[in-house]
Structure 1
């Protein structure tokens, strides 16, 4: 979806102000980024159970194999995000990830992969070369679990890079004016 500038004889706006109309075109997703809805099973005590990932005998994620993607997680990490947390633009040169949460996160992605047919495409829906950031818009803590296909080593060989959010503006909370 986007916005386009229109003119109307029935509307008179202040000088240099534009009138926009929603275009409703379907936004392309970033190539090779998939959103898979997890089944939630309620329990007898008011809680729930959710299967984050299921692996085959070779360690590949079954729900991704069904889409033709081989992903073999080697590590699971957990982040506890305080209410209102905003963490923007980091990018992995080699690592791919699967994210699951216990709550709501607004996720932003930008494709910076050289030669990708969706290069520069922004989406709210993680592959290596795709910058990602997130916001916890709630007043509660949210736990983010993520599975990686590379081990975290915690030294200068770690292939996680940061991008100054001032250099790559993308507010995925407010609609962009096209």
Structure 2
């Protein structure tokens, strides 16, 4: 029998550590109705890389597999410096698609829609340029972000309505979830 064949059990762990031992859960977490994530293909070459973020149809709609029909009206660029928390934002007349070009963010989502099957559900996820994807956030879902990395995060977000300050609702960052929500959670 080789060392690799030896089975280890909880009884083989020193008793002083057993009570402190925890297990990471990889179960799929509940998802807010309407939130969509779409992977972005990144083509690597010796001299760099190329990613196609979106295509537009002849009618001006984004052509995506996972994200519902989306008429692009504005493209925005934002940076979040180290330590930034921006939350919660809410829109009644626009949906958003987020893309992280550099860095990684903690993203919070909270379903505030009265008639939604997931009303009140809160999600927390990580968006990172290391695993490029698009995140679709429908209107009525409060959203926020926190940068707990050492670098400035650079992101683009696409919207299907032009900016109108009267459609920019805000809630305090600790609403419902508390301030710890925006901190790094050890697994």
* TM-score interval, normalised by the smaller of the two chains: 0.7 to 0.9
Would you tell me which structure has more helix in proportion to its own residues?
2
**Superimposed CA distance per residue, residues 43-63 of structure 1 (whole angstroms, 9 cap, x where no aligned partner):** 333x32222211111111211
CA distance in 1, matches of 2:38, 2:100: 13
1:61 maps to: 62
Query: Is 1:43 aligned with 2:45?
Result: yes
- Please provide the CA RMSD for this pair: 2.6
Question: What displacement does 1:75 show?
Answer: 0.3
What TM-score, normalized by structure 1, do the two folds share? 0.75
Question: What displacement does 1:111 show?
Answer: 0.4
Matched residues, number: 154
**Superimposed CA distance per residue, residues 79-107 of structure 1 (whole angstroms, 9 cap, x where no aligned partner):** 01111211111111111000001221111
Question: What displacement does 1:162 show?
Answer: 0.4
Matches within 5 A, 1:42-121: 42-45=44-47, 47-63=48-64, 66-67=65-66, 69-102=68-101, 103-121=103-121
1:151 maps to: 162
Question: What displacement does 1:161 show?
Answer: 0.5
Please, which runs of 5 or more residues in structure 2 have no aligned partner?
1-14, 16-21, 126-136
SS in 1 for 2:37: coil
